Amino acid sequence: MTATALQELAQSLHNCQRCKLAKLGRTQVVFGVGNPHASIMFVGEAPGFNEDQKGEPFVGAAGKLLNDLLTSAGLSREQIYIANVIKCRPPNNRDPEPDEVETCKPFLMQQIQTIRPKLVCTLGNWATQTLLERKVGITKVKAQAFYMKDFVIFPLLHPAAALHQGNLLDTLKEDFKKLKEFLDKHSKPAEPTTT
Ligand code: URA
């Protein structure tokens, strides 16, 4: 059911022309990939060159780093679902523009409403600000849990930023340890009650 709903949504966005990115050189819409029943979802910014070519999020260098970080937190790509705030590659990987985010955000929200993850890890400023709905720098909010109505947001630095700045890589590794601690704490089975 969930998988079908996601497929239908993906189909409805096939060859999407709703914003200017369709005419600015994107190869294809990069909808999202992963387990439709995931309890953890990761949300990035926008497809880059490799993602645009392959049609899947996080398949380039940042994706390889993300895979390693996921492993360090005891997670695998098969367990999670990954999507981006905007589904088409901006020219030369420039930042998304407000109208592009506004046009595409409803589809991210539909993905979240369909998958119903308990935890949404936002990667970088764009995803974090879009889902927290406030303009706050990622370094102020990273590796903390924000309890929303239907899910928890756990912001993290964007892996691409860590590829370019070595000191951020250590921070990101530390933050994935905090994510693991958070997951270990919250998926702990309830203590048996003694009568
Ligand atoms: N960066 C992102 O934000 N998303 C991708 O899919 C790849 C790189």
Q: Answer yes or no: is 195 within a domain.
A: no
pLDDT tens for each residue of 138-170: 999 999 999 999 999 999 999 999 998 989 999
User: Cβ(44) to ligand 1 under 6 A?
Assistant: yes
Cα dihedral sign for 176, 153, 2, 126? negative
pLDDT tens for each residue of 100-110: 999 999 999 99
- Rounded CA-CA distance 54/12 in Å is 19
Report CA(44)–ligand 1 centroid distance (Å): 5
Q: Answer yes or no: is 126 within a domain.
A: yes
Q: Answer yes or no: is 5 within a domain.
A: no
**What ipTM goes with this model?**
0.93
Q: What is the pLDDT of residue 193?
A: 66
User: Cβ(66) to ligand 1 under 6 A?
Assistant: no
Q: Say which CATH number the domain at 58 has.
A: 3.40.470.10
83 phi and psi angles, rounded to 5 deg = -145, 170
Q: Is the pLDDT of residue 190 over 70?
A: no
Q: Which two tokens stand for residue 187?
A: 């998926």
- Rounded CA-CA distance 61/154 in Å is 22
User: Cβ(51) to ligand 1 under 6 A?
Assistant: yes
Q: What is the pLDDT of residue 194?
A: 64
